[in-house]
Amino acid sequence: MTYFRFMNTLCIKFVRFALMLPLSSLIAQDYLEEQLSAHVYFLSDDRLEGRATGSDGERIALDYIASYFNQYGLSPKGRDGYVQSFVFSLGKKMGLTNSLEINSQTMHIPADYFPLIYSGNAAINANALNLGYGIHAPGLYDDYADKINLKGKVFVINLSSPDGIHPHSKYLNYTDYQTRIKTAQSFGASAVIFYNNDENLDDPEFDLSMKVKSFDIPVIFVTHGILNDGDEIKLNVDLKKQERTGNNVIAFIDNAVENTVVIGAHYDHLGWGESGGSLYRGDPAIHNGADDNASGVSLMLELARAIKTKNLKGNNYLFVAFSGEELGLYGSKSFIKDATIDVSSINYMLNFDMVGRLDEENTMAVNGVGTSPLFKAKALSVREGNLKLKTTESGMGPSDHASFYMADKPVLHFYTGNNSDYHKPSDDAYLINYKGMTQVFDFTYALITDLDDEGKFEFVKTKDEDNRNAPKFSVTLGIVPDYMFDGEGLRIDGVTDGRPANGAGILAGDVVKQLGDIEITDMMAYMTALSKFKPGQSTIVTILRDDKLMDLPIQF
């Protein structure tokens, strides 16, 4: 605690000094760099242990952010002072009564078996029945044909298929877990036991963190051996929902006018990588999240200070530090459902997520310019910050602005690009481009000032979300895409150790041109290609490296 008191005292001294200065001095580069740096270093310090949602580190970050809202003269606008809490699920955890006996022999977790995330809770005492691959496709292949007395049995199912698991399998539409479990349940199974004897197919991971709908029957995987018809199975699956409480931090500048601008940034990160999302494959380590997203929070805090000092009067201004973004936009979704202001009064929303790594070309993405007619003209007319803008129309995206866009609010998302440290422990404060952050500040502050007297903004739903739905996929190359790349294909910013791309010899800077039979023209094409594959399958990926096309074999 001594460290935090020292840092807080130091930062408060900066603030008190700054508040005595005129605005022209207040936004001077040296001071602004110093203040942004102080915020980023504090929020991404090891002592906060990666600011995982619901953790002690989140609470320390929350107190820090709230203290600055208070020092900058902003009013609390949460449910409890500056805080708005929300409950969320972290998937499931093991209960105390899980057990498996096969012919009176006790099995152990995880060496012999483990429950799958799809499993329901129940105690079963029944005989095994081997259902082959568990495929029910009359006219093509049917493991259920001519089977009798199925009801109440424990169905034992091979994870492979008659021709293996690969992109060209005739049985591809019948071999995912959900389809086979649903089929088994419809034929009266009391439980499902999966096994794997296909050396080309990886075993499932013992992972209860996914958020999937459970079935009504127990579902487990046995790690070795094949059960025989008539084997006596005594099985109990006991999984508990794992819940935590996360916290948004909310402050308000109330100008007593009709419209409110929301300015937000998420302050949570990945903790020790325990809740998924990490691209790091070493021993557990703190993911400090300096760029993602201490940078955005720092910028938001300094915009709050500047807007309060400038006394902009055309809108009210609500500042929200969201938590739970990394887990699925939990904080921003919770805010929309339980808003501490009238949602109809929201004029537009600005989201700052990863604004700390401005490149040598000074390129910044501004996403969402199509969500209101004013945005594109105004954003492109701002000359502060000396930035090269890359704009996109869409209001959707993997960050908190999407929650507001789905509530029919105009949004802009500011983003300076990905990097090889994304979602890894190496995303540290010393790597941040603080001069670049001051350029982002200058640009966005000038834009906010310019938009202050424009009245109520018209919302426009962007076309791509009307016509194109992102496909779902269960595999990944293990790459960090370069979202700033505007050429044809998918350029790679980073490659994760131990994942398929790394094993295939793909490098940062390569451009993916084709995956399997699908040409990769952009991110949507890449996701569509991934959706055609399942874990354990292999294909060819074509990449462009140093102006030469290369075909590399890859296995998911």
Whole-number pLDDT of residue 1 = 38
Burial of 503 (0-12, 13-18, 19+ CB in 10 A): middle
Whole-number pLDDT of residue 113 = 97
Residue 270 pLDDT level (bands cut at 50, 70, 90): very high
Burial of 241 (0-12, 13-18, 19+ CB in 10 A): exposed
Whole-number pLDDT of residue 483 = 67
What is the pTM assigned to this prediction? 0.75
Residue 14 has pLDDT above 60, yes or no: no
What is the per-residue pLDDT across 208-266, written as a single tens digit (0 to 9) for each? 877 777 899 999 999 988 899 999 999 999 999 888 999 999 999 999 999 999 999 99
CA 269 – CA 277 distance, rounded (Å): 10
Between 20-34, 183-197, 278-292, 447-461, the lowest mean confidence (pLDDT) is in 20-34
Residue 313 has pLDDT above 60, yes or no: yes
Residue 471 has pLDDT above 80, yes or no: no
Residue 530, C-beta contacts closer than 8 angstroms, at least 6 positions apart: 471, 473, 475, 476, 477, 515
Residue 8 has pLDDT above 80, yes or no: no
Whole-number pLDDT of residue 73 = 97
CA 522 – CA 109 distance, rounded (Å): 43
What is the per-residue pLDDT across 50-107, written as a single tens digit (0 to 9) for each? 999 999 999 999 999 999 999 999 999 999 999 999 998 878 899 999 999 999 999 9
Reference 276, options 352, 222, 205; nearest CA is 205
Question: With b meaning 16 or more CB within 10 Å and e meaning fewer, what string describes 295-322?
Answer: bbbbbbbbbbbbbbbeebebbbbbbbbb
Between 27-41, 207-221, 290-304, 463-477, the lowest mean confidence (pLDDT) is in 463-477
Residue 461 pLDDT level (bands cut at 50, 70, 90): very high
CA 243 – CA 327 distance, rounded (Å): 13
CA 502 – CA 500 distance, rounded (Å): 5
Residue 487 pLDDT level (bands cut at 50, 70, 90): confident
Give the percent of the chain with pLDDT over 90: 66
CATH number of 2-77+243-465: 3.40.630.10
Element (H, E) at 479: strand 479-481
Cα separations in angstroms, 171 against 6, 353, 354, 475, 543: 63, 42, 42, 18, 29
Residue 486 has pLDDT above 90, yes or no: no
Between 57-66, 252-261, 478-487, 511-520, the lowest mean confidence (pLDDT) is in 478-487
Domain boundaries, the chain: 2-77+243-465, 97-237, 474-555
Domain 97-237 has CATH 3.50.30.30: yes
Higher-pLDDT residue of 251 and 178 is 251
Angle of helix 29-43 relative to helix 295-310, nearest 10 degrees? 130
Mean pLDDT confidence for 267-290: 90
Mean pLDDT confidence for 469-485: 74
Its CATH architecture, for the domain 474-555, is Roll (2.30)
Mean pLDDT confidence for 20-26: 41
Place of tokens 């060209």: 168
Residue 392, C-beta contacts closer than 8 angstroms, at least 6 positions apart: 365, 366, 367, 368, 369, 370
Burial of 414 (0-12, 13-18, 19+ CB in 10 A): buried
Whole-number pLDDT of residue 208 = 87
Residue 523 pLDDT level (bands cut at 50, 70, 90): confident
Whole-number pLDDT of residue 276 = 75
Reference 414, options 435, 445, 449; nearest CA is 445
What is the per-residue pLDDT across 352-390, written as a single tens digit (0 to 9) for each? 999 999 999 999 999 999 999 999 888 888 888 889 999
CA 233 – CA 190 distance, rounded (Å): 11
User: Do 261 and 448 meet the contact criterion of CB atoms below 8 Å apart?
Assistant: yes
